[in-house]
Amino acid sequence: MQELDLVIRGGTVVTAADTARADVGIRDGKIVVVGLDLPQGKREIDATGLKVMPGGIDSHVHLAQPAFGGPAMADGFESGTRSAIAGGNTTVVPFALQARGASLRQSVQDYHKEAEGQSYCDYGFHLILTDPTPAVLGQELPALVAAGYTSLKVFMTYEDMVLNDRELLEVFDAAGELGALVMVHCEGYDAIRFMTEKLEKAGKVAPYYHAVSRPQSVEREAAHRAISHAELTGVPIMIVHVSGREAMEQIRWAQNRGLKIMGETCTQYISLTADDLKGLNMDDTGSKYVCSPPPRDTESWDAIWNGIKTGVFQTFSSDHCPFFFEGEMGKQNPKARTSFKWVPNGIPGVAVRMPVLWSEGVAKGRITENQFVALSSTNHARIYGLTNKGSIAPGFDADIVLWNPERKITITQSMMHHGADYTPWEGFEVTGWPQTTILRGEVVMQDGEILGRKEGGKFLPRTLSPLAGRGSGAAMD
């Protein structure tokens, strides 16, 4: 056998399928052999006592997204992907957001400029469609899907992004034709506006009322509507960032009816609650936790775990969407202090996703380590067409996290390596922590130290999702 560049020796290999004591041999950035008693490599890593797992793939992160007049994001590609590798990830899939009236193709080019030479890990792009004109759906989208941007997100809320039902149907239909996968943000725009105006009139403007303005019924209604549109058009969809029982049960109901509806949930929905948004006044810390959908309650955590264990959810993501807390551009900016309505939505979490899922899931006996790998890596690769990613087997990219399952850590901001000035998980205790992150055979993070280069990540054009594409829609005769 030709000499191996790197041998990871003595660890326990964990994939989505199984677990085995085995060594991993790597050459030219690829896994070439998984077996016992491998020959000496040019370089060796002793993984005794560690789990050798596929590097995390976080298919829902926001980096360098423009502010539309609001505060700028706290992470561009450099700090966001640095934080990703600190947390055991080797691939992220951020969004290329089309501003209304702008060309989708131009938006993608703009994001490439942000990412080029600035990424510590590999990356692809989902598209965000805010203006699905006939030209966008008929010309730009087909070209972009063919070029490897094989998934797109649409929003059922947010002033600058919401699509009406007709537009949703047009997008689903076009995506179905092209075989692109549609991700849907399910919260009802009118219901949120109605609640927001009522709350503001009553003087209820503190960050906590963000959660009150968009209760689970608002998410459930939108999820049901999206599912109905998916059924009508015969197009599979992924309902993203599901926060609790109500939307989860909609997805389960659809799946039981044989519809191809997939579900994603996130770290905040098993570890934060709406109480975290409570503060005595507008200067308090509640805005640190403002994201959409909002974190709910511990009963919702149980429902989310039920959905994870029973396969309602295929992916577990961070929805990393970082803003500063302090300062004129932070979540506490002067306008945001007048109403929760102006607090930028989103929280930083790409670095804590894997540790919190392991700790709350595997360490507490809720899921197996194989389910952990599926939820944090393999399913993201399969669903979003990331070939050669998400497993430990010959031919796959040598994207690996060496995981210490016993390590107890109290999370602090200094471990996050992100651009934001806080972490919502400050003080949160976890068991299980990424010790080493390896990107295509190179150690990029070791014991919290970033060793990779910001030019080290590469763009990943993606294949069509095997789970997307049109099935049979409503009868036409």
Size of the site for Zn ion (CB under 5 A): 2
- The CB-of-338 to ligand URP minimum distance in angstroms stands at 19
Confirm or reject binding of residue 105 to Zn ion (CB under 5 A). Answer: no
Q: Which is nearer to Zn ion, 319 or 397 (CB)?
A: 319
Q: Which is nearer to Zn ion, 185 or 353 (CB)?
A: 185
Q: From the list Zn ion, ligand URP, none, which binds 98 (C-beta under 5 to 8 Å, kind-based)? A: none
- The CB-of-241 to Zn ion minimum distance in angstroms stands at 6
Stretch that binds Zn ion, among 75-83, 127-135, 180-188, 245-253 (CB under 5 A): 180-188
Q: Which is nearer to ligand URP, 52 or 226 (CB)?
A: 226
Residue from the set 231, 319, 369, 397 that interacts with Zn ion by CB under 5 A? 319
Q: From the list ligand URP, Zn ion, none, which binds 291 (C-beta under 5 to 8 Å, kind-based)? A: ligand URP
Strands ordered across the beta sheet of 6-9: 30-35, 23-27, 6-9, 43-46
Q: Which is nearer to ligand URP, 90 or 318 (CB)?
A: 318
- The CB-of-353 to Zn ion minimum distance in angstroms stands at 13
Q: Which is nearer to Zn ion, 51 or 185 (CB)?
A: 185
Among positions 183-202, residues that touch Zn ion (CB under 5 A) are 185
- The CB-of-287 to ligand URP minimum distance in angstroms stands at 12
Q: From the list ligand URP, Zn ion, none, which binds 260 (C-beta under 5 to 8 Å, kind-based)? A: none
Residues contributing to the site for ligand URP (CB under 6 A): 62, 185, 241, 291-292, 319, 321, 345-346
Task: Centre a 10 Å sphere on the Cβ of residue 111 and count the other Cβ atoms it contains.
Answer: 22
- The CB-of-358 to Zn ion minimum distance in angstroms stands at 22
Q: Which is nearer to Zn ion, 243 or 391 (CB)?
A: 243
Stretch that binds Zn ion, among 107-115, 135-143, 228-236, 313-321 (CB under 5 A): 313-321
Q: Which is nearer to Zn ion, 128 or 402 (CB)?
A: 128
- The CB-of-240 to ligand URP minimum distance in angstroms stands at 7
Among positions 35-74, residues that touch Zn ion (CB under 5 A) are none
∠ at Cα 145 (144, 151), nearest 5°?
115
Residues that bind Zn ion (CB under 5 A): 185, 319
